[in-house]
């Protein structure tokens, strides 16, 4: 059972906050990256020239392992009901937004529209509600999505038991599970998850391991950047989590997503923005520690930022996303979970990738 070693995190934070700029140069010259070096690369002392060097190393590492291919995926929101009280999310139970639950026919219609945009990889997304996470319903749905041409079907929904994940994997060939801890800081976690099943920190933390144990081949982890006021602490705990998963659940392939908090309607919770510079430092240092891990960048980021950053570390991009149930059939901004910053059509994203010398891949690896 995983739990971050908070004492280790504290001691690494002390080290990274006391390293001198001159020592970072020699650090950048060493070949391998372990947890301690990763921590030191997160130093606030890292200057612009060192950041440039770090990001160049990350770029080289990424392209050495992943070549020029970038996979494209799209989320399909099918239910925006939620029984949790997350203070930072527009779908939270207390928010008086319009709720919508798509029927199976409506989901398949949305999926058809998505297939027409060339996607073969789809991510099913729902708020946490017992009905949206019903195993029998999901088994039938995922099987149908495979039948209509999706080679990769993943879920980002309420955490389930290992037994449920095993059913989804064995009976409908579920390909991927995405579950973000939001924040690894327990105090902050309690503050922003005051009610509902999500307030159980440990159950959520153990979800990636349950999924991997059940045989789901691809697992995505991450935290919500800006939710806790120390992104370096979050990065150290995420790194420990991923090292644990790779050691004890090595059969699965892992990826990291980097959602940065965005304004959502009806949400007034205070958060701490993570700057572009720190974002680049974070992803570059993570790439050196995890050379084989996929990295995803969502449409929460602006087109300009996505165009600049994609070559650096990323292997997966969402494109043409709607965060509203039924959003591909009709525009309905009042149903959105968060605002999309990159509203370009999937074909435009594919064109941008080609212009940068990358190959857009519409399906995940089969
Ligand atoms: S973050 Fe997820 S669990 Fe929390 S309120 Fe939003 S949809 Fe519900």
pLDDT digits (tens, 9 = 90+) for 252-310: 999 999 999 866 545 555 788 899 999 999 999 999 999 999 999 988 899 999 999 99
Ligand 1 pocket test target in 80, 83, 85, 86 with most atoms within 8 Å of CB: 86
Ligand 1 atom nearest the C-alpha of 193 is: 4
144 Cα to the center of ligand 1, angstroms: 26
37-47, pLDDT tens digit by residue?
999 999 999 99
Q: Residue 171 phi/psi, 5° resolution? A: -90, -25
Report whether residue 92 contacts ligand 1, using a CB cutoff of 6 Å: yes
Report whether residue 86 contacts ligand 1, using a CB cutoff of 6 Å: yes
Residue 340 — pLDDT band, cuts 50, 70, 90? confident
DSSP bridge partners of 121: 152
Min mean pLDDT across 134-148, 199-213, 252-266 is at 252-266
For 6-361, CATH gives 3.20.20.70
Give one DSSP letter per residue of 91-159, joined into a string. TSTT--PPP-B--HHHHHHHHHHHHHTT--EEEEEE-S-GGGG-HHHHHHHHHHHHHTT-SEEEEESS-
Q: According to the model, what pLDDT value does residue 246 have?
A: 98
Report whether residue 338 contacts ligand 1, using a CB cutoff of 6 Å: no
48-90, pLDDT tens digit by residue?
999 999 999 999 999 999 999 999 999 999 999 999 999 988 8
Residue 202 — pLDDT band, cuts 50, 70, 90? very high
Number of other CB atoms surrounding residue 108 within 10 Å: 15
pTM for the full predicted model: 0.95
Report whether residue 91 contacts ligand 1, using a CB cutoff of 6 Å: yes
Q: Measuring from atom 7 of ligand 1, which residue has the nearest CA? A: 127
Q: In sequence order, which residues have a C-beta less than 8 Å from that of residue 14 and are 6 or more positions away?
A: none
11 Cα to the center of ligand 1, angstroms: 32
264-278, pLDDT tens digit by residue?
545 555 788 899 999
Q: According to the model, what pLDDT value does residue 249 have?
A: 98
346 Cα to the center of ligand 1, angstroms: 26
Q: According to the model, what pLDDT value does residue 272 have?
A: 87
Report whether residue 336 contacts ligand 1, using a CB cutoff of 6 Å: no
State percent of the chain over pLDDT 90.
84
Q: Residue 96 phi/psi, 5° resolution? A: -90, 55
Q: Measuring from atom 1 of ligand 1, which residue has the nearest CA? A: 89
Tokens 């970038």 map to which residue? 70
Distance, CA of 349 to CA of 357 (rounded, Å): 13
Q: What Cα–Cα distance (Å) separates residue 253 from each residue in 1, 6, 140, 359?
A: 19, 26, 25, 21
Work out the mean pLDDT of the chain and round it to a whole number: 93
- The residue length of the chain stands at 366
Label the pairing between strands 152-156 and 218-222: unpaired
Q: Is the model's pLDDT at 323 over the cut of 90?
A: no
Ligand 1 atom nearest the C-alpha of 80 is: 7
Domain-by-domain residue ranges, the chain? 6-361
Q: According to the model, what pLDDT value does residue 336 have?
A: 67
Ligand 1 pocket test target in 75, 88, 92, 183 with most atoms within 8 Å of CB: 92
DSSP 8-state secondary structure symbol assigned to residue 217: S
Number of other CB atoms surrounding residue 167 within 10 Å: 18
Q: In terms of DSSP H, where are the helices of the chain?
A: 6-18, 21-29, 35-41, 48-66, 104-116, 135-147, 162-172, 186-192, 201-205, 207-213, 231-248, 276-289, 303-313, 346-355
Question: Comparing 91 with 164, which gets the higher pLDDT?
Answer: 164
């Amino acid at each position: 059972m995983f739990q971050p070693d908070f004492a280790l995190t504290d001691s690494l934070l002390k080290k990274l906050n006391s390293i001198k700029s001159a020592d970072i140069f020699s650090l950048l010259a060493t070949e391998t990256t372990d947890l301690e070096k990763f921590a030191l690369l997160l130093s606030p002392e890292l200057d612009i020239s060192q950041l440039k060097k770090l990001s160049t190393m990350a770029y080289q590492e990424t392209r050495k392992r992943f070549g020029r291919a970038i996979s494209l995926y799209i989320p399909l929101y099918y239910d925006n009901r939620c029984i949790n009280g997350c203070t930072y999310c527009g779908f939270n139970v207390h928010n008086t937004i319009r709720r919508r639950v798509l029927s199976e026919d409506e989901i398949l219609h949305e999926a058809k529209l998505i297939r027409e945009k060339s996607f073969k990889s789809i991510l099913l997304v729902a708020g946490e509600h017992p009905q949206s996470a019903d195993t029998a319903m999901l088994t039938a749905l995922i099987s149908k999505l495979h039948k209509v041409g999706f080679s990769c079907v993943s879920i980002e929904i309420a955490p389930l038991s290992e037994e449920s994940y095993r059913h989804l994997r064995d009976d409908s060939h579920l390909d991927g599970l995405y579950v973000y801890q939001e924040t690894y800081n327990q105090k902050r976690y309690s503050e922003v998850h005051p009610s509902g099943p999500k307030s159980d920190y440990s159950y959520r933390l153990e979800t990636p391991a349950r999924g991997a144990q059940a045989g789901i081949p691809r697992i995505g982890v991450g935290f919500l950047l800006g939710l806790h006021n120390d992104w370096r602490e979050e990065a150290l705990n995420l790194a420990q989590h991923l090292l644990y998963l790779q050691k004890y659940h090595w059969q699965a392939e892992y990826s990291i997503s980097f959602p940065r908090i965005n304004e959502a309607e009806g949400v007034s919770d205070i958060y701490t923005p993570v700057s572009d510079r720190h974002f680049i430092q974070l992803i570059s240092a993570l790439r050196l520690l995890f050379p084989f891990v996929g990295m995803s960048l969502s449409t929460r980021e602006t087109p300009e930022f996505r165009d600049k950053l994609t070559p650096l570390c990323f292997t997966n991009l969402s494109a043409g996303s709607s965060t509203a149930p039924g959003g591909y059939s009709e525009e309905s901004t009042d149903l959105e979970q968060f605002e999309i910053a990159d509203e370009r059509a999937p074909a435009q994203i594919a064109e941008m990738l080609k212009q940068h010398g990358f190959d857009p891949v519409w399906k995940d690896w089969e």
